[in-house]
C-alpha cells in the first residue's frame, strides 16, 4: 500500500487517477513544444508506467528539466504525492 506525504493510505484507483493527471500535463507540455522526445524533437516525450513508478524520457537539456520540475512541483503539492529525487537520474 502506498501513502501520501501525510501518511494517508492511497488506494490503487485513486493513485491511478493522479498519475493519469500527471501524464496529461506532460503530454500537454509535449504538444506545446516544451518537452520532447530525446531522439526526435517533433515527437512527444515517452512516458512509461509500471505499478507506481513513472519513467519520463527527455533529452538531457537544461530547459527540458526546468519544464519538468515546473510541472512536478505543483503536481506534487496538489496531489500530495512525493517526488523521490533519490530514485531519479539524468543520463
Q: pLDDT, tens digit, for every residue of 27-45? A: 899 999 999 999 998 888 8
Would you state the pLDDT for residue 1?
42
Over residues 55-84, the pLDDT tens digits come to: 888 998 999 989 999 998 898 888 887 777
- With CA atoms as reference, report the closest residue to 82 among 56, 53, 58: 53
Grid cell locating 86: 533519490
Angle between helices 62-79 and 12-31 (to 10 degrees): 150
Grid cell locating 55: 519513467
Would you state the pLDDT for residue 11?
54
> CA 34, CA 52: separation in Å to the nearest integer?
25
**Confidence bin at 18 (pLDDT 50/70/90):** confident
pLDDT at 8 over 70: no
Rg (CA), the chain: 13
Amino acid at each position: 500500500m502506498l501513502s501520501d506525504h501525510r501518511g494517508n493510505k492511497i488506494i490503487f484507483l485513486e493513485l491511478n487517477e493522479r498519475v493519469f493527471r500527471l501524464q496529461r500535463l506532460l503530454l500537454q507540455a509535449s504538444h506545446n513544444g516544451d518537452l520532447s522526445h530525446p531522439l526526435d524533437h517533433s515527437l512527444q516525450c515517452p512516458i512509461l508506467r509500471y505499478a507506481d513508478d513513472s519513467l519520463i524520457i527527455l533529452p538531457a537539456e537544461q530547459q527540458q528539466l526546468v519544464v519538468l520540475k515546473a510541472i512536478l512541483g505543483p503536481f506534487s503539492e496538489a496531489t500530495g504525492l512525493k517526488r523521490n529525487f533519490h530514485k531519479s537520474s539524468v543520463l
